[in-house]
Amino acid sequence: MTCATGRPGNTSDVRPSPSSRLLRHGFRALARARSARALHPRGDVWAGTVLRHGLSPVTGVPWIDTPGRDSALVRLSRGAGLPSPWPDVLGLALRVRSPGGDPWDLLLSTTLGRRLPWPRRAADRGVHSSIAAFRAPVGPLLVGARFRGGRFLLAVAAPRGPWRPFADLVLDERVDVDVTFEPVLNPPAGLVVPERWRRLREPAYAGSRAGRSSV
């Protein structure tokens, strides 16, 4: 199906499977018990700036390929909610706006390599990765971030290729806002969430939202 933006949508008319219902109920119960998100329950939100310098050879994703500047919201969080300085799988959620004003969301987590979620003590250690590769015009693409020189360097990579930096993410100031990121529903145009990954994450996010709203 096609959504209003003209790119493939991330919704489905298929009836939820038993595993999807189980995920939804489990994440709803956890969110309700925590009175917060089931995972990454608490975090710091920052106003930031994405400074895109472009990429060549191009990926076919305009936001990645073309130079530009975006205002951003960034949430830095701890996956299990463990207190610092305990290691935890750290999250970096990023929101920018499309040219039409729609939200574009990415969620990156600390990993060992590119695919295995891995606990770290601080966000300036190791790589944050999308873990799953998006479907892009040039083929599968991972999105990643690494802290360098007081800012995050954003990059993309084919599953077996080198990281290719395309932007700097600067955290400007901490802000007191409550924002819900939707990386499954709102990826940047040209990056399509794989169906099997969507089937795993969509019911988890839906359950977490439902658990929070029922508190």
CB 93 within 8 A of CB 75: yes
pLDDT at position 10 is 43
Nearest to 197 by CA among 212, 179, 180, 183: 183
Q: pLDDT digit string (tens) for 28-45?
A: 554 455 555 656 678 999
pLDDT at position 79 is 86
Is the residue at 171 inside a domain?
Answer: yes
Number of H helices and number of E strands within the chain? 3, 10
pLDDT at position 14 is 45
Q: pLDDT digit string (tens) for 85-94?
A: 999 999 999 9
Mean pLDDT, rounded, for 95-116? 96
Domain count, the chain: 1
Could you write out the three-class secondary structure of 27-72? HHHHHHHHCCCCCCCCEEEEEEEEEECCCCCCCCCHHHHCCEEEEE
- Alpha carbon distance 198, 133 (integer Å): 12
H or E, element range at 92: strand 90-97
Is the residue at 90 inside a domain?
Answer: yes
Pairing of strands 90-97, 134-136: unpaired
Q: Which residue has the higher pLDDT, 180 or 37?
A: 180
Amino acid letter at 138?
V
pLDDT at position 63 is 98
Q: pLDDT digit string (tens) for 44-78?
A: 999 999 999 999 999 999 999 999 999 999 999 99
Is the residue at 157 inside a domain?
Answer: yes
CB atoms within 10 A of CB 188: 22
With a CB cutoff of 8 Å and minimum separation 6, the contacts of 101 are none
Is the residue at 77 inside a domain?
Answer: yes
| Domain extent at residue 127 | 43-194
Is the residue at 184 inside a domain?
Answer: yes
Mean pLDDT, rounded, for 152-167? 97
How does the average pLDDT of the chain come out, rounded?
84
What proportion of the chain, given as a percentage, has pLDDT over 90?
Answer: 65
Is the residue at 94 inside a domain?
Answer: yes
Is the residue at 80 inside a domain?
Answer: yes
- Confidence category of residue 198, pLDDT binned at 50, 70, 90: confident
pLDDT at position 160 is 93
Amino acid letter at 183?
P
Is the residue at 6 inside a domain?
Answer: no
Could you tell me the CATH number of the domain that includes residue 180? Answer: 2.40.180.10
